[in-house]
C-alpha cells in the first residue's frame, strides 16, 4: 500500500512540474504531417476472375477480409427489394451450418462477419484466420435461402416500409430520388409493399446466382498474415465459386430540373418540415477537381462549422443541424444535396438561407483562415480513418475499381493542402448549381405552403409544384374548403359519438382499461391507460419490464413520475387534467369550436378546437377521430405533439382505435392496442 501511495504522489508531483513548465500563451507547434502509405499489396487473380490483394501488417494479431463486387447497378422493377432481401438472408446460416450454430461460433471466436449481395467483411484474431475465412466463404458461397427466412425478411421489410409512411425524412428521401433520378433508375426506384409481395424464393435464388459472381470481385486480406498463407486459404475455400458476369441493363440518363423549383409534398401530420436542396452533379474520384470538390463541400455543409450549419443552427436556431453531401459514382451522375429538419414556422426562411449560402460560396472568396481550418479538420478525419483495417481495404479496392493511380492516397494529403480559394469558387460553380436547384419540401401544407409560395430569390419567384408521397404529380391541397351548411362543432362531435357506438352507449361507460405495445429502438414500449368518469386517469409507459414514466390524476391532484423523480401537477395542469380525464372527454366539452376543414392522410377532417392547447380532427366521411394535436411548452417554445388514431375495432358495441401513433420529434411511435376493458379492471387504488 505504501509503495502505491508513494508512486501516486510521485506521479502527481511530476505532472505538476511538467504543467508548470508549459507556456500556455504560446500555441503548440504542429508535428509533421503524417504520410498515408497503403503499401504495395501482393496481388493475384484466380481462374474464376476473383482478384485478391494481400496487405501484410504485423502490428496487431488480427486479420480482416473485405470482399467487394464491382457490378453495374440495375433496376429491380416490380420486384424492387430483392437485393435487400438476398443480403439480409446471406450470413444467417449456410447449407452446412444452421443460423444459430453459425452465429454462436462467430461470437465464440470474438469475430465479426457480415455478407451481402455486394460483398462482405470479416475480422478475427489471427489465430482464428483459417476458420474465419472458411466461415466467410461458406456464408458467401452457400447461403441457405429458405421460404421461412424469405417470409421473415419480407415481413420485416414491409413493416419498415409502413413505418416510413409517416416519416417526413423517409418520404423526402424517396421523393427526391424519384424526381432527381427518375423511377426507372436504380437509385430512383423505391420499394413498396406490393413489390416485396411479388418476390418469390425463385427470384431470390436467381438474383443471387446472377449477381453474386467473381468476375468483377475484389478481396482484400490484411493484417497478421503472409501472402502465401492468404493465397493458400483463398484457393482452398473460394475455388468452388463459379465464374460468371453480372448482367447490365443500362442506366437512364439523369438531368437537372429545367429551372429552380420547390417540389412540395403535403404530410398533414408533420410537426417538422424536411428540406432537401439538390442538383445533379457528375463527380468521380478520378477527376482533377475531386480534392477541391471535397474541401468545397466541407466548407459549405460538410462539417459542424460549415456555412450552412452555422447559418441555420447557430445564427438563426432553425434546426439542430444541417449538412450537405457531394457523392461520387463512376457509373452514373449523382446529386449534390443539402438536408435539414426545421420547425414549420421557418420552412420558407430555411430555403432562402440555404440558397444564400450556396450563392455565397459560388460568388465570394472563402476566408483564408476558414480554408486553412477546413483543410486541417478534413485531413484530421481522413488520417484518423486511415487507422482502420476496413478503410485500408476499401481504399485498396478503390484504386483498382475507380481507375486511380497507385499513389492516389500517398498524394492525397498534399493535394488537399494545395486547394486554393480560386479552386473552391471554381468547383462550387461546377457542382453546386442553385440555378436549377430542385428543392424538395415535405411538411404540413396548411402551416407552410402559403409562405413557400411567396419565396423569391435573386428577384425571381420560385414556383411550387405539388407531388404525392411517391413522387407523382398531384393537385395543390385545398386548405380552405367550404364548411357544409349546418355543420357545427357540436354536430361534428355528435357524428363522432354516433360513429363509435352512440351517445347512449358511451354514457354507460364508467371506466376504461387499455394496454398497448410499440417497437422502440430494438425493444418495445408498453402502455397502460386507465380512466374513469370521476376525472381519474393514469398512464404508465414501460420500457421492457421497467416503468419509464407514470402520470397520475386522482380527480383532484396529480403528479408525473419519471426516472425516480416525482413532480406534482401545477394548477394549470390540474385544470387541463380535469378536462381530459374521462373515458370520452368530448362528451363533457361544451366550449368546442369548429376551425375549418383540413386534409389528413386518408381524406379530409373537421378541425375542432377543444381547448386553448388541444385540437382534434374528425374525418368528414366516417366521423371518426383521426388525430389530436396538443401544444406543449418546453424551454419557452410551443411544440405541437400529434397523436393519430386508426384501425378502429368494436369492443362491446363501441369502436376504439387499435393503432395509436405519437410523434416524438422527427420519430413516430406506433402503438398497437392489445386489450380494452370496459367497466372492469379499474379501482380507486390505481390513482394513488
* Side-chain half-sphere CA neighbours of 58 within 13 A: 2
How much is the pLDDT for 639?
Answer: 75
Query: Stretch 611-630: mean pLDDT, rounded?
Result: 93
pLDDT of 359 above 90: yes
Which helix H or strand E contains 417, and what residues bound it?
helix 412-417
Check residue 637 and give its pLDDT: 67
Q: What is the pLDDT of residues 644-666, one digit of tens each?
A: 999 999 999 999 999 998 876 55
pLDDT in tens, 220-238: 999 999 999 999 999 999 9
Distance CA 126, CA 134 (A): 13
Share of the chain above pLDDT 70, in %: 93
**Three-state secondary structure readout of 486-544:** CCCHHHHHHHHHHHHCCHHHHCCCCEEEEEEEEEECCEEEEEEEEEECCCCEEEEEEEC
Return the higher-pLDDT residue of 271 and 469: 469
Which of 551, 552, 625, 626 lies closest to 587, judged by CA? 625
Q: Cα separation of 453 and 477, whole Å?
A: 13
Contact (Cβ atoms closer than 8 angstroms) between residue 532 and residue 513: no
Per-residue pLDDT for 23 more than 70? no
Q: Hey, how many other C-beta atoms are within 10 angstroms of the C-beta on 146?
A: 16
Please, which residues bridge with residue 265 across strands?
442, 467
Task: Reply yes or no on whether the pLDDT at 33 is more than 60.
Answer: no
pLDDT value of position 635: 64
CB 424 within 8 A of CB 361: yes
For 122-137, write each residue's pLDDT tens digit: 999 999 999 999 999 9
What is this structure's pTM? 0.78
> Average per-residue pLDDT in the chain?
90
C-alpha cell at position 219? 478481396
Predicted confidence (pLDDT) per residue in 471-483, tens digit: 999 999 888 778 9
- Cell, residue 319: 434546426
In the prediction, which pLDDT does 12 show?
34
Please report, for residues 132, 297, 325, 363, 369, the alpha-carbon distance to residue 429 in angstroms, rounded to integers and kept in the order given: 49, 12, 15, 8, 21
Distance CA 186, CA 452 (A): 31
H/E segment holding residue 351: helix 347-363
Amino acid at each position: 500500500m505504501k509503495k502505491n501511495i508513494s508512486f501516486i504522489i510521485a506521479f502527481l508531483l511530476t505532472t505538476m512540474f511538467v504543467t508548470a513548465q508549459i507556456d500556455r500563451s504560446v500555441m503548440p507547434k504542429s508535428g509533421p504531417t503524417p504520410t498515408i502509405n497503403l503499401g504495395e499489396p501482393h496481388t493475384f487473380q484466380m481462374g474464376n476472375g476473383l482478384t485478391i490483394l494481400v496487405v501484410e501488417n504485423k502490428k496487431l494479431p488480427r486479420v480482416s477480409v473485405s470482399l467487394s463486387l464491382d457490378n453495374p447497378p440495375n433496376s429491380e422493377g416490380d420486384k424492387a427489394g430483392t437485393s435487400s432481401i438476398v443480403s439480409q438472408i446471406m450470413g444467417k446460416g449456410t447449407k452446412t451450418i444452421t443460423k444459430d450454430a453459425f452465429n454462436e461460433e462467430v461470437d465464440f471466436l470474438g469475430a465479426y462477419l457480415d455478407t451481402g449481395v455486394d460483398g462482405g467483411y470479416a475480422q478475427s484474431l489471427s489465430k482464428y484466420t483459417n476458420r474465419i475465412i472458411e466461415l466467410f466463404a461458406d456464408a458467401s458461397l452457400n447461403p441457405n435461402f429458405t421460404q421461412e427466412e424469405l417470409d421473415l425478411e419480407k415481413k420485416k421489410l414491409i413493416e419498415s416500409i409502413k413505418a416510413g409512411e409517416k416519416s417526413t425524412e423517409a418520404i423526402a428521401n424517396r421523393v427526391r430520388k424519384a424526381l432527381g433520378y427518375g423511377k426507372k433508375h436504380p437509385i430512383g426506384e423505391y420499394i413498396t409493399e406490393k413489390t416485396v409481395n411479388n418476390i418469390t424464393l425463385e427470384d431470390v435464388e436467381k438474383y443471387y446466382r446472377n449477381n453474386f459472381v467473381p468476375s468483377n470481385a475484389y478481396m482484400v486480406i490484411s493484417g497478421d498474415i503472409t501472402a502465401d498463407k492468404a493465397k493458400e486459404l483463398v484457393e482452398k475455400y473460394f475455388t468452388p465459386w463459379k465464374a460468371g458476369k453480372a448482367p447490365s441493363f443500362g442506366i437512364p440518363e439523369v438531368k437537372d430540373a429545367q429551372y429552380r423549383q420547390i417540389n412540395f409534398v403535403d404530410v398533414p401530420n408533420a410537426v417538422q418540415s424536411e428540406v432537401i436542396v439538390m442538383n445533379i452533379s457528375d463527380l468521380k474520384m478520378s477527376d482533377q477537381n475531386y480534392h477541391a470538390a471535397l474541401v468545397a463541400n466541407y466548407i459549405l455543409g460538410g462539417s459542424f462549422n460549415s456555412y450552412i450549419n452555422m447559418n441555420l443552427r447557430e445564427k438563426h436556431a432553425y434546426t439542430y443541424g444541417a449538412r450537405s453531401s457531394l457523392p461520387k459514382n463512376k457509373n452514373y451522375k449523382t446529386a449534390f444535396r443539402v438536408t435539414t429538419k426545421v420547425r414549420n414556422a421557418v420552412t420558407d426562411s430555411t430555403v432562402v438561407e440555404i440558397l444564400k449560402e450556396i450563392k455565397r460560396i459560388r460568388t465570394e472568396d472563402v476566408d483564408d483562415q476558414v480554408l486553412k481550418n477546413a483543410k486541417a479538420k478534413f485531413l484530421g478525419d481522413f488520417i484518423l480513418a486511415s487507422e482502420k483495417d476496413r478503410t485500408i481495404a476499401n481504399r485498396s479496392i478503390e484504386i483498382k475499381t475507380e481507375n486511380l493511380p497507385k499513389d492516389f492516397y500517398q498524394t492525397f494529403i498534399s493535394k488537399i493542402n494545395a486547394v486554393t480559394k480560386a479552386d473552391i469558387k471554381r468547383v462550387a460553380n461546377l457542382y453546386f448549381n442553385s440555378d436549377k436547384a430542385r428543392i424538395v419540401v415535405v411538411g404540413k401544407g396548411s402551416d407552410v405552403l402559403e409562405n413557400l409560395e411567396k419565396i423569391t430569390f435573386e428577384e425571381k419567384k420560385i414556383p411550387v409544384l405539388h407531388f404525392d408521397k411517391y413522387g407523382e404529380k398531384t393537385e395543390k391541397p385545398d386548405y380552405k374548403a367550404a364548411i357544409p351548411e349546418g355543420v357545427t362543432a357540436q354536430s361534428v362531435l355528435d357524428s363522432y359519438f354516433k360513429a363509435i357506438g352512440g351517445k347512449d352507449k358511451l354514457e354507460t361507460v364508467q371506466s376504461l382499461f387499455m394496454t398497448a405495445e410499440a417497437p422502440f429502438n430494438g425493444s418495445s414500449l408498453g402502455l397502460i391507460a386507465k380512466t374513469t368518469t370521476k376525472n381519474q386517469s393514469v398512464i404508465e409507459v414501460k420500457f421492457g419490464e421497467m416503468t419509464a414514466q407514470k402520470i397520475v390524476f386522482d380527480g383532484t391532484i396529480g403528479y408525473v413520475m419519471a426516472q425516480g423523480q416525482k413532480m406534482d401537477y401545477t394548477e394549470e395542469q390540474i385544470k387541463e387534467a380535469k378536462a381530459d380525464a374521462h373515458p370520452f372527454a368530448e362528451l363533457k366539452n361544451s366550449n368546442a369550436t369548429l376551425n375549418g376543414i383540413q386534409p389528413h392522410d386518408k381524406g379530409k377532417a373537421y378541425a375542432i378546437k377543444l381547448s386553448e392547447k388541444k385540437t382534434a380532427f374528425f374525418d368528414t366521411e366516417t366521423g371518426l377521430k383521426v388525430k389530436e394535436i396538443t401544444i406543449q411548452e418546453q424551454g419557452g417554445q410551443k411544440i405541437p405533439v400529434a397523436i393519430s388514431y386508426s384501425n378502429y375495432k368494436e369492443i362491446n358495441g363501441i369502436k376504439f382505435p387499435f393503432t395509436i401513433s405519437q410523434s416524438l420529434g422527427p420519430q413516430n411511435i406506433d402503438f398497437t392496442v392489445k386489450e380494452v376493458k370496459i367497466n372492469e379492471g379499474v379501482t380507486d387504488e390505481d390513482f394513488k
